[in-house]
Amino acid sequence: MIIESLLISFGAETRTYQTGEMIFREEELPSHYYQIEKGKIKLNNYTMDGKEFIQNIFSDGHSFGESLLFVDRPYPMNAVAIEDSVIYKMPKQNFLDLIKNNPEISLSIYECLAERMYYKYIMLYNLSFQNPVAKLKLLMDYLKSYHEDKTPYSFQIPLTRQQLASLTGLCVETVIRTIKQMEKDQIVKIEKRKIYY
């Protein structure tokens, strides 16, 4: 979200992470601003019985965990690379200086945070009440909202069924069965195991 040259002039450095590598973990104190140059990361938690819950998944150009830089609290989740990724890392203080001196950047951070909250509101409501079809549909609607082409089946869901399950709190089998049902109902199309919506 912040342009590269600005990041660098404010002391950001790039670092590569391999698939599966942790960028930060629960309980740690936030010390940096992170922005993805290339790759994909997820924010997750594990329930006491070991089940994963994915808060969100981010890819190229997105920042993550920046809201925690404004509060003096430890991270409530882990950040894990799910692809080999290159990530800009800028010390917290530099980040704060940067937004203090740049109203433009500051505004874009607000927008970004607002966007995240929007997603959270939708998902929270969604997760607590809806049936599996509604949950998956809402999640896919959200994902597709970033896709220019709005025609049916034009958007390939960039997530595995496993990940869909972890994002919605459903179990994999349910996701698999539900997606199949949705295909019958013409809501999605499946080709070579890929989901088109």
Partner DNA sequence: ACATTAATGTGCA
Partner DNA sequence: TGCACATTAATGT
Residue 110, H or E segment: helix 103-129
Closest to DNA by CB, 6 or 172: 172
Tell which one of 77, 123, 179, 182 touches DNA (CB under 7 A).
179
Interface region with DNA, contact rule CB under 7 A, candidates 21-29, 54-62, 143-151, 167-175: 167-175
Tell which one of 99, 170, 182, 188 touches DNA (CB under 7 A).
170
Tell which one of 1, 133, 172, 187 touches DNA (CB under 7 A).
172
Phi, psi of 29 (to 5 degrees): -85, 130
Neighbouring residues of 25: CB distance < 8 A, sequence distance ≥ 6? 75, 78, 79
User: Amino acid identity, residue 115?
Assistant: E
> Strand 63-64's sheet: what is its strand order?
13-17, 85-91, 32-38, 63-64
Binding to DNA by CB under 7 A, coded x per residue (else -) over 135-164, reads -------------------------xxx--
* Residues 182/195, Cβ–Cβ less than 8 Å: no
Closest CA to 190 of 157, 163, 167, 150: 157
Residue 54: CB minimum distance to DNA, A: 12
**DSSP code at position 118:** H
Closest to DNA by CB, 68 or 179: 179
Beta strand ranges found along 47-156 (DSSP E)? 52-59, 63-64, 78-81, 85-91
Q: Determine the Cα–Cα distance for residues 42 and 166; give it in Å rounded to an integer.
A: 11
Interface region with DNA, contact rule CB under 7 A, candidates 29-37, 60-68, 86-94, 172-180: 172-180
Binding to DNA by CB under 7 A, coded x per residue (else -) over 84-123, reads ----------------------------------------
Residue 173: CB minimum distance to DNA, A: 4
Q: Is 14 in the site for DNA (CB under 7 A)?
A: no
- The footprint of DNA (CB under 7 A) covers 132, 160-162, 170-174, 176-177, 179-180, 190, 192-193
